[in-house]
Amino acid sequence: MHAAFILLLLFFLSIGPAFSAAPEFRSTLIRQDPERFLEQALQQPAQGSSSYWLELAYAQMLLNQKESALLNIEQAIELAVLLDDHPLYQAQLYHIKAQIYGRLYRNTELGIEALLRAVQWLEPLQDERARKEKNELYESLAQAHLQNSDYPQAIYYAEKSLAEALLPQQELNAHFLLGRLHLQMNRINQAFAHLQSTLELATQLEAFHAYPLVQLRYGIGYQKMGLPEQALQAFMQAKEGFAKYQHERSYINSLLRVVSVQLDQNWFDEHTYAYLQEALQYSHQHGDAYSIAESKFYLGQWYLLHQDQTLANDYFEQAISIAFQINNRDLLNRVQLTLAESLVQQQELEHAEQLFQQLAIQPEDHNQALFLRYRYAELAAELAAWKHEWQHAFQYSQLARALRFDDLHEQYNLKLDYLHQNNPAPSTTSPHQATPPLYWLLSTLTALFLLTGAVSWLAWQRRRQQATPNQLIFSRQWIQFSEKLAAEQRQKQPLQLMAVTLRGCQQYKQRHGEVQLRRALVSLLQSLNSPEIIQMTIHSDVLWLGLSCQDDKLAALEQKVLLHLGQQRKALTPTPQLQTLVLPLQALLGQQFKAQHLQALREAVWLSWYLAEQLNPSDDNLYLQLKVLEQRPCEWMAENIRQDLLNALQLGSIELWQQQRLLNTSIKELLD
């Protein structure tokens, strides 16, 4: 969760160089009061020993004086070479140089270069002190490659660090790092095995403060396997542990992990918002730019789920600005993608297109997260459709569907592999309760594997029960709405589409602004609460409702919806008139329609409203229905669908009704 350079910085802070070879290096004394030490050292005449410049550089590094620190460590290295100092000491100089690059310059590449120079000095040495320094150098190299997302190379150096470990604490550090790295590679069994070793060593050393760190990683493993309940439990326990041991930076991380699960699963409540405010407060106190950006990102998602898109977009923009400043591409991609999706939902398509062009996501890049790749493809399909690039829209839509399947398949394989290996549950019988027991998880997974197709359905049903109806069935994008509505055909229930907007919508927008129009539509949406409304979205300044209702009950359902809309309409200022249209989906599109057919069906909405407007220029509410006398009266994927619709209206295979009044005759006269 923290920025990669923060991970490296924390590691550098956690280790203190234990120099034993000459010249003497008073690292402990400097760490006690670096400002006072530096002041005293600078009052003395400059000395010709390498250690003098090293101590200056070390104190300046602790005080974040990067230019002076780098200049003085270079001076120390030059003198050490001239004086032919011990190889172990010269390796330690390069280790400090790497810390300066990592902590102060945030330059991983130069940090790795310095670490490799340090390793070269140590290669011939096999004594205990040299091996201890090698262990630390290899761990630093693993951390640096982790920062660069080069996980195979990071694992290589982490394993070398483990091989050089002489003390239990060194083994603990190496096992924990390997657990984190294998999680990044989605190797759940290897990760959990290393985390279990970490727990055993922590118990042996009575290092109970390490327990919540392990819990956090177990939670990440559960997330990767698609087990949000277990992930949330692990993150909550980690949060409690970090609070107990006063690990404030890690506490921020755990708060944000908890929030991420709650928002993803629609399990959020008043505690979620409190966690976000707490994370933001601590992040500011620690000057943790990455956590500030991530907190703002989740606040944006919070407000988006509460349908306050103006405030949501503001938080997204703030998060993007910070992510750009700290050059964190992963976070930048996530926030920009989410904001672009939100802008598409608000019909700010040009702005969404600009953000889309800035995304550094390649759907074919297997090194990038699947969830980013399929969301990117969905957004690309939506924008291509907006630009009437239908071939690209179709291709991206197919790609998005394939990537979604790959994501579910990967989660399934992780679960199956975990069950197949049948790793024992990590022992947490100590009073500190390090990790949640796993024995009960295995039986659950067995059932899930036998019912793979039911996994998504069960999770969907659970979310339906725990979220408010409108939060649950609201789709942010048209493509998601249409795919979900098309999928509802398997319920064998007649489906209808209802379109709702303000009469004179464009004039309303021009007079009162897009934000006011958006709020009016959201207000109308929030007034609806009926089990027959199974999907909803806002697109093209229209509220779209997917209905599931028997034909003989449709008129009553329409009246019920119109009653709610009418009541809410009166609460708006200024009070607008409404126009609506109800369309029977299977009758119009056929019994096995697809999501792209719904895209074409929108032409029927625009045409019906246009014709009715010509026949009813007054400002009254306009409530319309399309009735079908001939099944699938149009070829919906034809290029000239609008003409097909006009022909069907003139031939009478489609009837347009305004409440109890048939408009076909008037339409025919209008067209003639």
- In whole angstroms, give the CA distance from residue 275 to residue 258: 8
Please give the pLDDT value at position 420.
Answer: 62
Give tens-digit pLDDT for 600-656. 888 889 899 889 888 887 767 888 999 999 888 888 877 778 888 888 888 888 999
Give tens-digit pLDDT for 46-94. 777 888 898 899 899 999 898 999 999 999 999 988 888 889 999 989 9
Q: Is the dihedral of CA 213, 217, 222, 223 positive or negative?
A: positive
Is a pLDDT exceeding 70 seen at residue 657? yes
Please give the pLDDT value at position 565.
Answer: 78
Give tens-digit pLDDT for 111-147. 999 999 999 998 888 888 889 989 999 999 999 988 8
Please give the pLDDT value at position 419.
Answer: 66
Residue type, 530: S
Please give the pLDDT value at position 75.
Answer: 92
Which comes out higher in pLDDT, residue 18 or 59? 59
Is a pLDDT exceeding 60 seen at residue 386? yes
Place of tokens 């390796």: 91
- What's the pLDDT band for 301 if we cut at 50, 70, 90? very high
Q: Is 61 left (phi over 0), alpha (psi -120 to 50) or beta?
A: alpha
Is a pLDDT exceeding 90 seen at residue 237? yes
Is a pLDDT exceeding 70 seen at residue 445? no
- Token digits of residue 221: 């493993």
Is a pLDDT exceeding 60 seen at residue 435? no
Is a pLDDT exceeding 60 seen at residue 427? no
Is a pLDDT exceeding 80 seen at residue 8? no
What integer is the mean pLDDT of 222-250? 91
Highest mean pLDDT among 8-12, 36-40, 578-582: 578-582
Is a pLDDT exceeding 70 seen at residue 20? no
What phi, psi does 390 have (nearest 5°)?
Answer: -65, -35
Residue 435: enclosing H or E segment and its boundaries? none
Q: Which whole-number Å values give the CA distances from 324 to 297, 329, 350, 421, 443, in the listed order? A: 13, 8, 21, 42, 45
Q: Which whole-number Å values give the CA distances from 632 to 560, 591, 601, 636, 648, in the listed order? A: 28, 9, 11, 9, 10
Domain annotation for the chain: domains and CATH numbers: 468-671 (3.30.70.270)
Please give the pLDDT value at position 334.
Answer: 92
Give tens-digit pLDDT for 148-180. 878 889 999 999 999 999 999 999 999 999 999
Longest dimension (CA), the chain: 104
Is a pLDDT exceeding 50 seen at residue 390? yes
> By percentage, how much of the chain surpasses pLDDT 90?
31
Q: Is the dihedral of CA 88, 30, 54, 158 positive or negative?
A: positive
Place of tokens 């209802």: 498
- What's the pLDDT band for 14 if we cut at 50, 70, 90? very low
- What's the pLDDT band for 205 if we cut at 50, 70, 90? very high
Tell me the HSE value of 493 on the side-chain side, using a 13 A CA sphere: 16
- Ranking 158-162, 187-191, 364-368 by mean pLDDT, the lowest is 364-368
Which among 447, 576, 457, 441 has a CA at the least distance from the CA of 518?
576
215 in Cβ contact with 434 (< 8 Å): yes
- What's the pLDDT band for 296 if we cut at 50, 70, 90? very high
| Pairing of β 578-584 and β 495-502 | antiparallel
This prediction's pTM = 0.57
Is a pLDDT exceeding 50 seen at residue 482? yes
- What's the pLDDT band for 292 if we cut at 50, 70, 90? very high
| Pairing of β 495-502 and β 542-548 | antiparallel
145 in Cβ contact with 154 (< 8 Å): yes
Give tens-digit pLDDT for 492-544. 788 999 998 888 887 877 777 766 777 777 777 776 777 888 888 888 888 89
Is a pLDDT exceeding 50 seen at residue 335? yes
> By percentage, how much of the chain surpasses pLDDT 70?
86
Which among 219, 179, 178 has a CA at the least distance from the CA of 1?
219
Q: Which whole-number Å values give the CA distances from 381 to 338, 479, 544, in the listed order? A: 15, 8, 19
338 in Cβ contact with 297 (< 8 Å): yes
Is a pLDDT exceeding 70 seen at residue 562? yes
Is a pLDDT exceeding 50 seen at residue 443? no
